[in-house]
Structure 1
Amino acid sequence: MRLLAVFLAFFISLIQCSKYHPGLYGNYENILVSLNNENYKQILFNQTSDILYFVEFYAHWCGSCKRYAPKWIDLAQQTINWHKKIIKFAVLNCGDPLNGQTCGEFNIEMYPTVRLFPLRANFSPPLHNAIEFDPEEKDLFIPKIINYIEEVEDKPTNWPSLEPYRSSNLNELFINSNFDQKIAFLIVEKEEESLIGREVILDLSDQNVTIRRTTPKVNPKLLENFDLNLERLPSVLVIQNNGQEKFSYISIDLKNKSSQANGDYRKVMYDEIRRYLHIVPDFESSTLVKNFTSNLESFTNQNNNLTKASMNMRDLETGLSTILRYEIPHFNVIQGDEFVVLKNWIHVLSKFFPGRQEVRNYLGNLNTKLHKSEKITKNEWLKMVNENQTSDSFLPEKSEWVHCKGSKPDFRGFPCSLWTLFHTLTISQIEYENSKTKPFDENFNVLEVFESIRTFVKFFFRCSECSKNFQKETYDYLEHLKQPHDAVLYLWKVHNRVNKRLADDITTDPAHPKIQFPSRELCSVCYNETGEFREDEVFKFLSNFYSGSKMVQALEKFSISKNNFQELKSENELILNHENSSKKNHSTYSMYLILLAISVVGLQQL
């Protein structure tokens, strides 16, 4: 009986919820507050709320309201990030007879009627302290709302400040902040009346971060300490408080980025700040930036030693493990062209991978076993990869990124290790030939490594967009790979083109900017007097930088034990049984629904 009461209460609540007409906005409850005769007082006149309400009074049968609805939805979507702390968009359907008395109290004479309700509005019909907006001036709604928010007295403490930052002391940027953070953002615009900075501050009001705005006219004394090109405003300064009156900063030039976004500075500024919030850049370094004179200095200084260091073999082994254990077995059956590509790829790895002898033995054994087959299933492949382990033939499965470690887990990592592996293989091919008595004889094939890389990316790299772009970037490889060293330099040029294309992309780790490699700091002789690369010197640099013999080893010892094999077996079974588990879970869920239906029927018969 108790269960029956629960069901009855549930159905009664459904009936109550459905008694109001769905109106024009039934599908937009995620961005619009639906007011009605029962809830409007609790929402609009809540004396403890810190939220403004922007309300449209309409009738669902009204033709002009129907035409107006998309515009109201668009405004709500434009300001969706303001809804959490600042202002919510709401609607009240006066065409529903149940709301008739309420709309009468508000003295609604025309549809649509638009009003802004202040914080903790008083219940005093008919206007209730609300400000009426002309519905036809919808393009002015956001500027008017922003100005209103800026002028509100006794603002809630969780609201951001929209007033210009006028202090010449950056300490106040952090002291007066509601957030215990070392990083703040300062938006620099040309005009104090500009809306963009204030829009972005409100767009990011749902984030726990301090963002202020200023202009050269409002705060010249402060801005003279920064290396800013005033002709390229607006700009964003990412500022860290290093303590003891010292600050580091990064200046984000938005001009080029805005041209790619059709001049939408609001979107570009929002995206850039979100990007830095996402990675939370670490400014700590041994050299503090004094008097704000060194743009990006403290930000990049921490990575200089890492960039100048040799590559790390651990990154290659971890990337190789990811390829073999996770990227390749995404086919249920590998056959035909895919199997030919797989065999060639494993053959190239076994021949040119420059790692420790145990890993090379592992790849050699894998190559031998694979060439005995004409096709292979996912299960067979995983078994071959994971059981092909002995004390002198193994590939460790788990390790931490070293050189390829990003500032956050979703940056760098596997893609970085792939590029490193590709470059290393092209260099290893040259080193392999040079070790022969007669190097670069008639059996040498300059295409051997590069074609294997290209086809592997095509068939087995599961980032589809990345794979397609790599094929586009290398479509003309046959025209360029003629001489022994061509593959090394061609891949280097492709990588630099990709770096240039992705330099400002949201996927780029700001702690590791995508530069034209190598930089002058790494190889000054690689540049001529006009700043162009000298390819002969670049080749020498790459041959040293990506040489397996020059890589930092720092590898963990690997021992085979029952625990090792049990762990491999357990993880292997987890992968192999995923589809079966999904089917079982689906069957269990279906049975649950059937039992639930039977229970409901039983309740109806009580």
Structure 2
Amino acid sequence: MLRRFRSLNSIAVTATHFAIILLIILCGDVDSLYDGNTDRGLYVLTEESFNPTVYRHIGPNRELRTESNLWIVQFYNSWCGHCIKFSPIYKALANRTQHWSAYLKLGVVNCADDLNRDLCTRFGIRQTPVLRLLTTGSHPANKGEDVEVRHSTTNLLQTVLDVMEYQRTPRELQPLPEQRVGELWASLPRSVNEVAVIVEPIGSHVGKEALLHALPNLHAIALRRAHNNNRALLDSLNVNERTTFVMFLDRLHPDEKGLVTLESLSRNSDPVAVFTNAIIRADTELTTRLRIQRRPQLGPVYGDTTSPAVRRPMQMQVHSASSFTLSVQTAVSGQDLNSAVLYSLSNEIARHNDITGREYETLKAYVTGLIKWVPVRPATLTALRILETSLRRGNGITGAEVTRLLRASNLNVDSGAIEWDHCKGSVPDRRGYPCGLWQIIHTMSVRAYEAGLLSAATVESNALAANGVLTAVIGYVEHFFSCGECSRNFMKGVASLRRNQVVVSNADAVLFLWRAHNNANRFLAGDLSEDPAHPKQQFPTLVQCLDCRNSADPQAQTIVWNEGNVLRFLREFYGAKRSAGATFVLE
């Protein structure tokens, strides 16, 4: 039991008072948020498959290039909470656009996979999730252009439609220039006698999407798009519509025009589906008259396309307390610390091509902090000291050089060496590294605080100073932590701290980081990225430290913390006197 603190045992509350609900997750090992066999319209890419899938030998010199279609590739980390949240959105986009493959293909690369480390480094992936656009004719040396990550399927689809229009892929997506109907017919092959023109306001996405849904299914009708400010075209057609509509024109019967408008739709109609179906129906009627055999119709396959990454069913089983013992972590795990250090070195720092300037100073401070304050295995400590020596001699380093130094010290930096203890998730891709990084952060800050109490002369008293422990932690999260949204949210709290304080004591640094962690837990509670067997809670829990709260009511909406007791608890949990990995059991 933790010294100085009452546990629930001390007030005669035992596990026999609880009915424990366990989540039994029926799933095998899954090392990716995406499955190329079941996620329609997605290419799951690896270092080995990327070039053969994305590029082709083109031209007389047989150069590797992308073909006439665009590629959008998502680079992600399978442990990243925001990547997990984004995965159903990206899957829904892939399903909705799967039949656009002649113009657009979507891929994914898991940067948490050792096998993809060099690929993610090649594309300069530092934070995830990242969407990269590879345009027509892109060379393998091209890192692509960033596409904004949107947090709804509708917004992401609209962004992709705008990208495709800007890239003129397919050409039918480009709005017609100012021209009369005669000029339109002159621009089409003589063999084409019918054309459908989608007219919509600038900024609308209805016509763009309908065009792309219809285009792969057309055999005889030409399809074009125009803006509703194209007066030359609309005046020549005697049309005054200002909303989105589809006009059907016949070269041989110019007086016969068909018109489908938004106003003609019922209130609950999906305009994209109505316009798409109207165009395909007109093409079907024409191919029937011309006796042209049609291909099977292509389109989205709606269904379970937005399900979480863990697809297999979960069963709830209720166990009585008499058959269950509750293990409560009472100290940081040395195994979690060592694994988190290995991952941060080999999968985050090593992915940076060039580390100079502020990043270089941050790396030096971080490595020095690890050596001073974080207990790791002897082989890891030796590698850290070799890296620290190299960093002191120079003013820049590459991620590849970091990896070389680690391997030269005989440190195993492959994923097989990374094993989680208390940070192990109950399902794949949950907890793991984010949990481990928090353990590093708290351990560094607590042990720097303790060292300052023992010998103030050897430890910087201002945690925000250039060589302060908080500066090292902040620098790592800002420059190297690869969960982009996590880093940005953390830095918002840092910005607020810096506005109000210039000097932060090491004790206050410990509490600032503790509050930041609890804020993250509060934000992510109930989120798709949450481990079902380890729900996000405010730390420490009532079981771990009853005296850390001014109220023992577990149903209280607002927790009033006793921060003096919290600080003492954190010293007990992360401090140098604790035996790493210790637990106690409620019986």
TM (norm. structure 2) is 0.47
TM (norm. structure 1) is 0.46
Instruction: Tell me which structure has the larger Cα radius of gyration.
Output: 1
> RCO (CA 8 Å, sep 6+): is it higher in 1 or 2?
2
